[in-house]
Structure 1
Amino acid sequence: MNYSILLTCLASISLSACASSSVTQLSSNTAVISASAAPICRTTGAASVANQMAAIATIKAGYNRFIVGGFGTMNNTRVVSTGPTYATTSGSFNRFGNSVYGTTNTTYGGSSTFLAGSNEAEMQITMLNPGDVGYEQGIDARAALGPDWQKKVDGGVNNCF
């Protein structure tokens, strides 16, 4: 079986919900956004989810723009390899007079390698409305989400793309 096709299919299936996030409200206009994404998303995917969730939190709180006050990412991914689960040995021999000549071959199988862990991103935001200090420098929440911003506000963000 072609393993690259299998891995591509599995990655496509797993990316349909490869990220999660939470919003911790610190005050009426400040919040901390925490995002976690699958290993295949990398830290840039987790950062993208955090940014989109910051925009969603801003709109849901009744604000138009936000400023990022602090930001950080962390890669907690690792490659895990399991040992072989079986070994098969076969051999052959030939006898010529008083001498025996032979060969053996041992095949190991059943091992696998997979990615585990997650990528994390966290940001603190200050949400702003017109007239607030820093409003002009803030990120427009609707523009950050794109043309289908309402759909994202209603459904949330659960993938890193």
Structure 2
Amino acid sequence: MIRALYIGRFQPYHNGHHYVINQIAQEADELIIGIGSAQMSHEPADPFTAGERVLMITGALQDLHKPLYVIPLEDINRNVLWVSHVRAMTPPFHRIYSGNPLVIRLFHEAGIEVLSPAMYERATLSGTKIRDLIACDKPWEDFVPPAVVRVIQEIDGISRIRALNQDDGDCPGR
């Protein structure tokens, strides 16, 4: 039995994350999704709370048909201790999937198997790009699973993102 860990900020959870998680699900029997920087919210780069991100992820993955654990992980700002922190906050896992060089290094040094999944359409599927589209009142819904659209609408996330970015001046015509 293989229990795998995948960590991301998921600000918001998007189709790139969804693709990677579905690839991981083909190799693992159980999945742990770690919501990184869980303490962050209501900021331009981190507009959603950990609880809102849990709703996005669990809604998007409701048809996964595998045991799924979604665990908020707060930053501790001490890299040397971070793997121990993650281990303390999650069910035991056998491997981690990450494309983040620091995460790869830290878990490798801790003796944990690390696999780097191929990113899916990274040029268009990034949280930054999706947040920018929302802030600039441009179509964004096709870049996230339908469950994420519903959560963002339910929590009035569109107006939150626009309010958090109202002074950045990066949107033409605004």
What TM-score bracket applies, with the shorter chain setting the length? under 0.3
Q: Between Structure 1 and Structure 2, whose CA radius of gyration is higher?
A: 1
Q: Which has the higher strand share?
A: 1
With structure 2 as the length reference, what TM-score do the two structures score? 0.25
Q: Which has the higher helix share?
A: 2
Relative contact order: is structure 1 or structure 2 higher (C-alpha 8 Å, sep ≥ 6)? 1
